[in-house]
Protein backbone atom coordinates (compact mmCIF):
# COMPACT_ATOMS: atom_id res chain seq x y z
CA UNK A 1 0.00 0.00 0.00
CA UNK A 2 1.64 3.17 -1.24
CA UNK A 3 0.05 6.54 -0.49
CA UNK A 4 2.53 9.15 -1.69
CA UNK A 5 6.06 10.48 -1.25
CA UNK A 6 6.16 13.46 1.09
CA UNK A 7 9.14 15.81 0.57
CA UNK A 8 8.35 17.64 3.82
CA UNK A 9 9.17 14.59 5.93
CA UNK A 10 11.66 13.25 3.34
CA UNK A 11 10.03 9.84 3.32
CA UNK A 12 7.45 7.75 1.49
CA UNK A 13 4.09 7.38 3.21
CA UNK A 14 2.51 3.96 2.98
CA UNK A 15 0.89 1.19 4.97
CA UNK A 16 3.48 1.04 7.76
CA UNK A 17 3.52 4.77 8.55
CA UNK A 18 0.27 6.24 7.19
CA UNK A 19 -1.33 6.42 10.63
CA UNK A 20 1.75 8.21 11.96
CA UNK A 21 1.59 10.68 9.07
CA UNK A 22 -2.06 11.51 9.79
CA UNK A 23 -1.27 11.93 13.48
CA UNK A 24 1.68 14.15 12.55
CA UNK A 25 -0.70 16.43 10.66
CA UNK A 26 -3.08 16.43 13.64
CA UNK A 27 -0.30 17.27 16.11
CA UNK A 28 1.07 20.01 13.83
CA UNK A 29 -2.40 21.54 13.45
CA UNK A 30 -2.90 21.52 17.21
CA UNK A 31 0.55 23.03 17.74
CA UNK A 32 -0.23 25.92 15.38
CA UNK A 33 -3.49 26.53 17.23
CA UNK A 34 -1.66 26.68 20.57
CA UNK A 35 0.91 29.14 19.20
CA UNK A 36 -1.73 31.44 17.71
CA UNK A 37 -3.83 31.29 20.89
CA UNK A 38 -0.90 32.23 23.15
CA UNK A 39 0.50 34.95 20.89
CA UNK A 40 -2.73 36.62 19.77
CA UNK A 41 -2.94 38.85 22.85
CA UNK A 42 0.54 40.23 22.19
CA UNK A 43 -0.27 40.51 18.50
CA UNK A 44 -3.27 42.72 19.37
CA UNK A 45 -1.09 44.87 21.62
CA UNK A 46 1.39 45.17 18.77
CA UNK A 47 -1.23 46.72 16.48
CA UNK A 48 -2.55 48.98 19.24
CA UNK A 49 1.06 50.04 19.97
CA UNK A 50 0.86 48.96 23.59
CA UNK A 51 4.04 46.86 23.45
CA UNK A 52 7.42 48.32 24.35
CA UNK A 53 9.33 49.63 21.36
CA UNK A 54 11.86 46.80 21.12
CA UNK A 55 12.87 44.26 18.51
CA UNK A 56 10.88 41.59 20.38
CA UNK A 57 7.62 42.86 18.94
CA UNK A 58 8.77 41.88 15.45
CA UNK A 59 9.47 38.38 16.74
CA UNK A 60 5.89 38.18 17.94
CA UNK A 61 4.61 39.43 14.59
CA UNK A 62 6.71 36.89 12.70
CA UNK A 63 5.69 34.03 15.01
CA UNK A 64 1.98 34.75 14.67
CA UNK A 65 1.99 35.01 10.89
CA UNK A 66 4.12 31.90 10.41
CA UNK A 67 1.88 29.88 12.74
CA UNK A 68 -1.25 31.16 10.98
CA UNK A 69 0.10 30.34 7.51
CA UNK A 70 1.21 26.87 8.56
CA UNK A 71 -2.18 26.30 10.19
CA UNK A 72 -4.03 27.11 6.97
CA UNK A 73 -1.86 24.82 4.86
CA UNK A 74 -1.67 21.94 7.35
CA UNK A 75 -5.36 21.93 8.26
CA UNK A 76 -6.28 21.72 4.56
CA UNK A 77 -3.92 18.76 4.07
CA UNK A 78 -5.15 17.16 7.29
CA UNK A 79 -8.79 17.52 6.24
CA UNK A 80 -8.02 16.00 2.85
CA UNK A 81 -6.36 12.95 4.40
CA UNK A 82 -9.21 12.51 6.87
CA UNK A 83 -11.51 12.41 3.86
CA UNK A 84 -9.25 9.80 2.25
CA UNK A 85 -9.31 7.74 5.46
CA UNK A 86 -13.11 7.87 5.47
CA UNK A 87 -13.10 6.54 1.89
CA UNK A 88 -10.28 4.02 2.60
CA UNK A 89 -8.48 5.49 -0.39
CA UNK A 90 -4.84 6.44 -0.95
CA UNK A 91 -3.62 9.64 -2.58
CA UNK A 92 -2.56 7.69 -5.66
CA UNK A 93 -5.98 6.03 -5.89
CA UNK A 94 -7.65 9.44 -5.62
CA UNK A 95 -5.90 10.51 -8.85
CA UNK A 96 -5.89 7.10 -10.57
CA UNK A 97 -8.63 4.65 -9.69
CA UNK A 98 -7.55 1.05 -9.03
CA UNK A 99 -8.58 -1.43 -11.71
CA UNK A 100 -10.58 -4.53 -10.78
CA UNK A 101 -12.08 -7.36 -12.82
CA UNK A 102 -15.13 -5.21 -13.59
CA UNK A 103 -13.12 -2.08 -14.39
CA UNK A 104 -11.71 0.90 -12.44
CA UNK A 105 -13.41 1.92 -9.22
CA UNK A 106 -12.17 4.55 -6.75
CA UNK A 107 -14.38 3.10 -4.00
CA UNK A 108 -13.22 -0.47 -4.51
CA UNK A 109 -11.71 -0.71 -1.02
CA UNK A 110 -14.39 1.30 0.79
CA UNK A 111 -16.05 -0.84 3.48
CA UNK A 112 -18.12 1.87 5.15
CA UNK A 113 -16.96 4.85 7.19
CA UNK A 114 -16.47 3.01 10.48
CA UNK A 115 -14.64 0.04 9.00
CA UNK A 116 -12.48 2.38 6.93
CA UNK A 117 -11.33 4.10 10.13
CA UNK A 118 -10.57 0.73 11.68
CA UNK A 119 -8.47 -0.23 8.65
CA UNK A 120 -6.12 2.72 9.29
CA UNK A 121 -6.32 3.38 13.04
CA UNK A 122 -7.12 -0.11 14.35
CA UNK A 123 -10.01 -1.64 16.25
CA UNK A 124 -8.98 -0.14 19.61
CA UNK A 125 -10.25 3.46 19.72
CA UNK A 126 -8.07 4.24 22.74
CA UNK A 127 -4.96 3.87 20.54
CA UNK A 128 -6.15 6.14 17.76
CA UNK A 129 -4.55 9.35 19.09
CA UNK A 130 -1.27 7.73 20.13
CA UNK A 131 1.67 7.08 17.78
CA UNK A 132 1.53 3.29 18.05
CA UNK A 133 1.10 1.03 15.04
CA UNK A 134 -2.43 -0.39 15.02
CA UNK A 135 -3.41 -0.54 11.33
CA UNK A 136 -5.25 -3.64 10.11
CA UNK A 137 -3.85 -6.05 7.54
CA UNK A 138 -0.41 -6.96 6.24
CA UNK A 139 0.04 -4.18 3.68
CA UNK A 140 -0.25 -6.51 0.67
CA UNK A 141 -3.80 -7.90 0.60
CA UNK A 142 -6.90 -5.90 1.47
CA UNK A 143 -10.62 -6.52 1.72
CA UNK A 144 -12.66 -5.25 -1.21
CA UNK A 145 -16.34 -4.66 -1.72
CA UNK A 146 -18.58 -7.57 -2.72
CA UNK A 147 -19.53 -5.92 -6.01
CA UNK A 148 -16.15 -6.75 -7.49
CA UNK A 149 -16.54 -10.54 -7.43
CA UNK A 150 -17.19 -12.34 -10.69
CA UNK A 151 -20.55 -13.84 -11.69
CA UNK A 152 -19.38 -17.40 -11.01
CA UNK A 153 -18.22 -16.46 -7.52
CA UNK A 154 -21.47 -14.63 -6.87
CA UNK A 155 -23.49 -17.70 -7.92
CA UNK A 156 -21.43 -19.96 -5.67
CA UNK A 157 -21.98 -17.64 -2.71
CA UNK A 158 -25.72 -17.48 -3.40
CA UNK A 159 -25.85 -21.27 -3.69
CA UNK A 160 -24.17 -21.61 -0.30
CA UNK A 161 -26.77 -19.28 1.18
CA UNK A 162 -29.60 -21.22 -0.46
CA UNK A 163 -30.61 -18.39 -2.76
CA UNK A 164 -29.99 -20.39 -5.96
CA UNK A 165 -30.53 -24.16 -6.43
CA UNK A 166 -27.55 -26.40 -7.08
CA UNK A 167 -28.35 -26.69 -10.81
CA UNK A 168 -27.99 -22.93 -11.13
CA UNK A 169 -31.41 -22.58 -12.82
CA UNK A 170 -33.99 -21.22 -10.41
CA UNK A 171 -37.59 -22.06 -11.31
CA UNK A 172 -39.33 -18.92 -12.57
CA UNK A 173 -42.49 -17.84 -10.82
CA UNK A 174 -45.21 -15.39 -11.68
CA UNK A 175 -44.65 -12.15 -9.81
CA UNK A 176 -48.27 -11.57 -8.87
CA UNK A 177 -49.49 -15.14 -8.52
CA UNK A 178 -47.88 -17.87 -6.45
CA UNK A 179 -48.59 -20.53 -9.10
CA UNK A 180 -45.52 -21.78 -10.99
CA UNK A 181 -45.02 -20.43 -14.46
CA UNK A 182 -44.39 -23.24 -16.96
CA UNK A 183 -43.66 -23.27 -20.66
CA UNK A 184 -47.12 -24.67 -21.47
CA UNK A 185 -48.88 -21.89 -19.63
CA UNK A 186 -46.70 -19.33 -21.33
CA UNK A 187 -47.59 -20.78 -24.75
CA UNK A 188 -51.28 -20.74 -23.89
CA UNK A 189 -51.01 -17.17 -22.76
CA UNK A 190 -49.16 -16.25 -25.92
CA UNK A 191 -51.75 -18.02 -28.10
CA UNK A 192 -54.58 -16.33 -26.26
CA UNK A 193 -52.99 -12.95 -26.63
CA UNK A 194 -52.42 -13.52 -30.36
CA UNK A 195 -56.08 -14.52 -31.04
CA UNK A 196 -57.72 -11.78 -33.09
CA UNK A 197 -61.46 -11.65 -33.81
CA UNK A 198 -62.24 -10.59 -37.39
CA UNK A 199 -65.78 -9.85 -38.62
CA UNK A 200 -66.72 -9.29 -42.25
CA UNK A 201 -69.92 -7.80 -43.54
CA UNK A 202 -71.16 -9.41 -46.75
CA UNK A 203 -72.65 -7.19 -49.41
CA UNK A 204 -76.35 -7.77 -50.27
- Looking at residue 150, its pLDDT comes to 56
Strand partners, 6: 11
* pLDDT tens per residue, range 16-42: 999 999 999 999 999 999 999 998 888
Tens digit of pLDDT for each residue in 72-104?
999 999 999 999 999 999 999 999 988 887 788
The set of catalytic residues is 6
d(CA 21, CA 79): 13
**pTM: predicted TM-score of the whole model, two decimal places:** 0.66
Instruction: From residue 64, give the alpha-carbon distance in Å to each of 55, 74, 179.
Output: 15, 15, 79
Query: CA dihedral in degrees (175, 181, 183, 188; nearest 10)?
Result: -80
Asked if residue 169 has pLDDT above 60, the reply is no
- What is the spatial distance between Cα 103 and Cα 148, in angstroms, rounded to a whole number? 9
- Burial class of residue 67, CB neighbours in 10 A (0-12, 13-18, 19+): buried
Digit-coded pLDDT (tens) for 102-135: 788 888 888 889 999 999 999 998 999 999 998 9
pLDDT at 172 over 50: no
Amino acid sequence: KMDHHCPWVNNCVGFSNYKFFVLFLAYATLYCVVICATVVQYFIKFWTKELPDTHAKFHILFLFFVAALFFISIVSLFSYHLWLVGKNRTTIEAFRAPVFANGPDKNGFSLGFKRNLVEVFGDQAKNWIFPVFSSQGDGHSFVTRLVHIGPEQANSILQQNGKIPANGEPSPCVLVNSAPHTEDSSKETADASQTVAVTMDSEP
